Amino acid sequence: MSSKKYWLIVFFTCASLNLIAQEKYLFEDIKLPVEQRVNDLVSRLTLEEKVRQMLNDAPAVERLGIPSYNWWNECLHGVGRTKYHVTVFPQAIGMAATWDDATLLQVADAIADEGRAIYNDTRRKNDFSQYHGLTYWTPNINIFRDPRWGRGQETYGEDPYLTGTMGKSFVLGLQGNDPHYLKASACAKHYAVHSGPERTRHSFNADVSTYDLWDTYLPAFRELVVGAKVSGVMCAYNAFQGQPCCGNDLLMQSILRDKWGFKGYVTSDCGAIEDFYTHHKTHPDAASAAADAVFHGTDLDCGHDAYMALLKAVKDGVITEKQLDVSLKRLFTIRFRLGLFDPLDKVPYSKIPISELECPEHQELAKRMAQESIVLLKNEDGLLPLNKDRLKKIVVMGPNADNKDALLGNYNGFPSHMLTPLQAIRERVGDKVNVVYIKGPDYVNPESDEVLEQWTAQAEGADLVIFVGGISPQLEGEEMPVSKDGFAGGDRTSITLPAIQTRVMKVLTAKKIPTVLVMMTGSALAIPWEAEFIPSILNAWYGGQYGGEAVADVLFGNYNPSGRLPVTFYEKDTDLPDFSSYDMDGRTYRYFKGKALYPFGYGLSYTDFGYSALQLPKTCKVTDKEIRIEVTITNKGKVTGDEVAQLYISHLNQNVLVPITSLKGFQRIHLNEGESRRISFLLSAEDLACVDENGNLVMIPGDISIYVGGSAPVVTSAAPLGGLKKVMTMIGQKRDLHF
């Protein structure tokens, strides 16, 4: 062979290899549009590679340089289940009790920073294991329709407006505001009509009216999909109107993709596709179930067995490979938007360092949210705040007094430092006050009168008992193997505070020992005896790493309580409809016709706020784009504090189904003692519309009552300072608007 021929062969070989290399890595060209890059990548996958990329634990495709990726990551109230120490904020229901959507956005932004820091660190170590990715399966925006649901702690409460507003803030904070890249990917779950019971969640069929669907169960999802542009949605385990949610014509196709125009990805809940053929019995096998789920737009299977059957479904002609490509393109679009295929120097979030974990700014946010979340339910005779200079002996008692697990809730991460209420109280009072710890009762286990006497005898001579009770994330949560009095399978069979705790407080009261009740819970507790006889009651939820310190801050006046209930606190079990019914009649403040023990939106302060000069138009028209409502709020007390002003509307004298009243706006404001401020709300025509029997928003002529005040304007059993008096909660002003 001549040298000329040799060099020609070398030249053409190198040129060919260069062309192949250029073609091979076309999807890595950051100058190309994301859609073109995604199309190129998907076109290069084999059928088996495609199917495996539709599993939550997507393996690497080494020949294309695609690393493995696990879609399943958690950040409900801080990056969850990771091996790193992270900032842990209050449980979601506690953050809802802040009614502080602006700070929640900052919280979500901080969580995204910590998530990116973890991802950046693990990526450098080639660690692509679970809980280190950037696709977070949160927030949970199911409506907390019944306090017995153990997972209600993961939600933002019972109201569609509050849930949608808080959820939107979380999504915007988590996903960031970069025009090209997602900081992290949020996921609205569980779509839809899903809120227990846990024991039947894999098989029950939610058959609700069209009215309830559009009036209660869908508004928050619409707000996140249309308003916040959430990048992911998780479809639920249960069926809806006879079809599994992940393969539902109405939910997945007509509403989510067509009506709302959702362009992101949908993941199944974990094992939900297997439920098609193992529990719902709507499909004969895995292949038919998987194909149907993909037809309906479920792009990712949190699981393995069901979607691996897509190989058979394609070979048998049940579904085409081209139809799989639709889902694959959605999935890879998310990964491209996260910058996972781009050079690190091109992705702004790739520079977030590991030092962001538990940084001072995030710690301050966690503390603020914990403080704001605490709801003062009762404060008779101004027992709180406590003056430590007047105390010699405090007894701290109860199952949650020294229990860190109760602070963390579920779906949680782990901080490097936190104080229990007992530890925080001791830190606040120092050596000047004798703090005696008596563990006392377990959550539910009954004890003899002799044991109760032994516990309470140790409290004699104390200036005060702080009883830190309630329930626990070890008793309520997701599909749990729990079977105790009042609890079953993660849910509750009774909303009553466990009897043993009430028995202890009855003995303390009989001994005339002043007692403060601090409750930790993920849901509403029925406490009619305590509301009557315990002078001061705090609801502290599962407060995160600063939950114990926030309790101490409120008890000793370092923070003026400002939390508001995101759920109704009912008086007794018989106030509730059947748990398995999804009919909203008789549920939540919007449709409950009884007397609440503590109503939705309720919460006291160490100061008093007054409302005056409510101003609104006398009439409005369909053509009005917005209606301005103004009111003056005054701090009439002697303590600086926050007030949560809430606006509700009620349609009067209507012969169609409408809520008793509905939240349509809220503002958290800070007022110094004696300070007044005039605030305004803007209501749109949509805010004043009603849902008709076909699920459409319609304007109905008539009178609309506008109320602005400190809680929902509903009948309650507890007067503002406690006691079982039947009063209307009207700490605000009310006017009528003619439409």
Structure tokens at 669: 């404001």
Q: Could you say which DSSP state residue 253 is in?
A: I
Q: Measured between alpha carbons, how far is 208 from 213 in angstroms, rounded to an integer?
A: 6
Check: CB of residue 673 under 8 Å from CB of residue 640: yes
The residue from 100, 109, 269, 571 that is catalytic is: 269
The residue from 158, 372, 476, 530 that is catalytic is: 476
Report CA dihedral (147, 150, 154, 159) to the nearest 10 degrees. Answer: -20
The separation between CA 626 and the C-alpha centre of its own chain, rounded to angstroms, equals: 29
Check: CB of residue 303 under 8 Å from CB of residue 270: yes
Per DSSP, helices labelled H in 128-188 are: 160-175
Q: How far is CA 131 from CA 84, 283, 411, in A?
A: 10, 32, 11
Answer whether the bond into residue 190 is a cis peptide, omega within 30°: yes
Angle at 193 between CA 189 and CA 194, to 5 degrees: 60
Q: Max Cα separation, the chain?
A: 111
Residues of the chain by 3-state class (helix, strand, coil), percent to 5 = 35, 20, 45
Check: CB of residue 307 under 8 Å from CB of residue 290: yes
Q: Which residues contact residue 177 at a Cβ distance below 8 angstroms, ignoring those fewer than 6 apart?
A: none
Write phi, then psi, for 453 (nearest 5 degrees): -65, -35
Report CA dihedral (679, 684, 688, 689) to the nearest 10 degrees. Answer: -160
Structure tokens at 387: 């003056």
Burial 653-679 (b: 16+ CB within 10 A, else e): eeeebbbbbbbbbbbbeebeeeeebeb
Q: Could you say which DSSP state residue 431 is in?
A: G
Handedness of CA 61, 62, 64, 66 (dihedral sign): positive
Active-site residue, 269 included: yes
Residue 682 identity = L
Active-site residue, 292 included: no
Q: Which residue has the tokens 């067995």?
A: 305
Q: Measured between alpha carbons, how far is 150 from 127 in angstroms, rounded to an integer?
A: 34
- By three-state DSSP, how is residue 677 classified? strand
Structure tokens at 597: 């023990």
Helix or strand holding residue 611 (H, E) = strand 609-615
Angle at 279 between CA 273 and CA 282, to 5 degrees: 70
- By three-state DSSP, how is residue 708 classified? strand
The separation between CA 647 and the C-alpha centre of its own chain, rounded to angstroms, equals: 22
Check: CB of residue 150 under 8 Å from CB of residue 492: yes
Q: Measured between alpha carbons, how far is 164 from 245 in angstroms, rounded to an integer?
A: 21
Check: CB of residue 572 under 8 Å from CB of residue 595: no
Q: Measured between alpha carbons, how far is 139 from 156 in angstroms, rounded to an integer?
A: 9
Closest to 153 measured CA to CA, from 522, 543, 405: 522
Check: CB of residue 264 under 8 Å from CB of residue 218: no
Residues annotated as part of the active site: 269, 476
